[in-house]
Amino acid sequence: IVGDQDDDDAVNQIKSNVRHRKGRGFNEHSDRLAMQTGEYETVANDNDSGNPGPARSVEGWILFVTNVHEEAQEDNMYDLFREYGNIKNMHLNLDRRTGYAKGYALVEYETFKEAKEALEGINGQDLLGHTLLVDWAFVKGPLKKRGTATGSSRKVTAGTGRTTQRR
């Protein structure tokens, strides 16, 4: 009977130290504050000047190629882009139903210099009767201020043709 009293005291001691928690995770107040304000740590880029321009992906510099002819093969694309440097990766997505190219490709280079030379050299070039359009897959834009409105300050009401100012 004396042992039961000690067990009850131990259980009550443990219960008094337990905190009831709800929600996503059990982080401290500072972590919750960061979620509420939207201020998080940032990852610096290799050439992070804050100016708009191309951005490096995790692996390398990726070009987005559009207006690719549907009968283009990966070999055609590879031969064309290989002239500008070592291709790290290439994706020419195919339509499952038809087996033809979907009209775009992603080409990845290790260095910015190779990717930029390929962009400048191939953009506007003809492949199988289609003019290829090449641009950066990832672009960092200008830094936006929080709480500012984006887009036009004028709104056209559908069906009326009337324009009103946004407030």
Least confidently predicted of 18-32, 86-100, 140-154: 140-154
Kind plus residue range of the DSSP H or E element containing 31: helix 29-37
Domains and CATH numbers, the chain: 53-137 (3.30.70.330)
Closest-CA residue to 125 (of 86, 83, 156): 83
Q: Give the confidence band of 141 by pLDDT, cuts at 50, 70, 90.
A: confident
> So what's the pLDDT on residue 78?
92
Q: Give the confidence band of 149 by pLDDT, cuts at 50, 70, 90.
A: low
Residue 158 clears pLDDT 80, i.e. is over it = no
Q: What is the pTM of this model?
A: 0.55
SS3 of 18, please? coil
Nearest 5 degrees, angle CA 126-CA 137-CA 95?
A: 65
Q: What is the pLDDT of residues 75-94, one digit of tens each?
A: 889 999 999 988 998 999 99
Q: Give the confidence band of 154 by pLDDT, cuts at 50, 70, 90.
A: very low
Q: Are strands 133-136 and 61-66 parallel, antiparallel or unpaired?
A: antiparallel
> What is the mean pLDDT of the segment spanning 25-36?
61
Share of the chain above pLDDT 70, in %: 62
Average pLDDT, the chain: 76
Q: What is the pLDDT of residues 35-61, one digit of tens each?
A: 666 665 665 545 555 566 777 777 788
| Alpha-carbon distances, residue 70 vs 17, 23, 74, 76, 147 (angstroms) | 67, 50, 11, 12, 44
